[in-house]
Every structure is written in C-alpha cells, then in structure tokens.
Amino acid sequence: MSSQEVKMEKPQIEKPIPVITTESRPFWDGCRDGRLMLQQCGDCGGWIYYPRALCTHCHSDNLEWKQASGEGVIYSYTVCRRPAGPAFKEEVPYVVALIDLKEGPRMLSNVIGCAPEAVRIGQDVRVRFEALNDEVTLPKFELAG
C-alpha cells in the first residue's frame, strides 16, 4: 500500500441499548443484580410492565417495586432469520417472543438457549439475564424444564 492509500475500516456497529430513566432505574438495577423487578399498584394490586408513573389498571400513582418470579409462558413468537440491523447479523436466527409473566404483564423479549425450532406457544419459560455493559443487563428467557 502506498503512502497515499488509506485503508478504510468499516466502523463497528454497536447494538442499541436501553435508555435508563429515573422512572425505569429500579427495573434496570434489578436486572443488573439478577432480579426481575416490576411495579405493583398499592391500591388495586395490579402488576405493571413497562415502568411508568401511573397504574395501567386504576391510574393510581401508588406504585411499589417488587421482585417478580421471573416465570412466564410464551404467548406468541417469531423467528428472525434476517437481522434487525447490521449489529444483529451474527445472532440470526433468533427468537423474539411475547412472554405472559406469572404476575400478569406481557413482556417482549428473546428466548435463548435453544434452537428456534424448539420454541412453541404455551411453553413455560424463566428469566435469564444478559449483561450488555456494567450498567445495562437485559432480561431474556429460556425454556423451563
């Protein structure tokens, strides 16, 4: 390569990471510590996911953070065979699923630790945590049993 030639390297594409807000910090801190934390309404008892200021059931602002069981059932899923962008290219195929948590809320996440062909609607799952960096850990799910 001559002195006038410049080797162009492709920039490394990083995966997007969640933005942690004051409202969502207890959820993300729990994930980092290996605990699935959800809000529960102190007035009606309803469980809430994703973190917010008001109860989705009765609109109360009397919300408490409590540790959830981390157990759920696959409500629906899809197998992604084309990446959701260049940063996910090495992960295909992967499963994106709607998980009905034991406490009631429905969570969008990934099913990991098995072949995509093994995933079925109605299967029991349990949470597993995947650290992205020192601050952000994602809740993902694996087949139970």
Per residue in 26-52, pLDDT (tens digit) is 999 999 999 999 999 999 999 999 999
How many domains would you assign to the chain?
1
CA distance 100 to 68: 12
Task: Tell me if 101 is assigned to some domain.
Answer: yes
pLDDT of residue 145: 80
CA dist., res. 33 & res. 70, Å (int) = 13
Identify whether 133 is part of a domain: yes
- The verdict on residue 44 lying in a domain is yes
Do the domain assignments include residue 60?
yes
pLDDT at residue 144 in the model: 97
pTM to 2 decimals?
Answer: 0.88
In a domain, 111, yes or no: yes
Listed as ranges, residues in the chain with pLDDT below 50 are 1
Domain membership of residue 18 (yes or no) is no
In angstroms, rounded to a whole number, what is the distance separating the alpha carbons of residues 109 and 50?
A: 12
Centre a 10 Å sphere on the Cβ of residue 6 and count the other Cβ atoms it contains. 8
In three-state secondary structure terms, 137 is strand
Domain membership of residue 68 as a residue range: 25-143
- Establish if 13 belongs to a structural domain: no
Closest of 85, 77, 73, 79 to residue 115, by C-alpha? 79
* pLDDT value of position 15: 85
The answer as to whether 12 is a domain residue is no
Task: Quote the pLDDT of residue 14.
Answer: 82
For residue 84, what are its two tokens? 């959701």
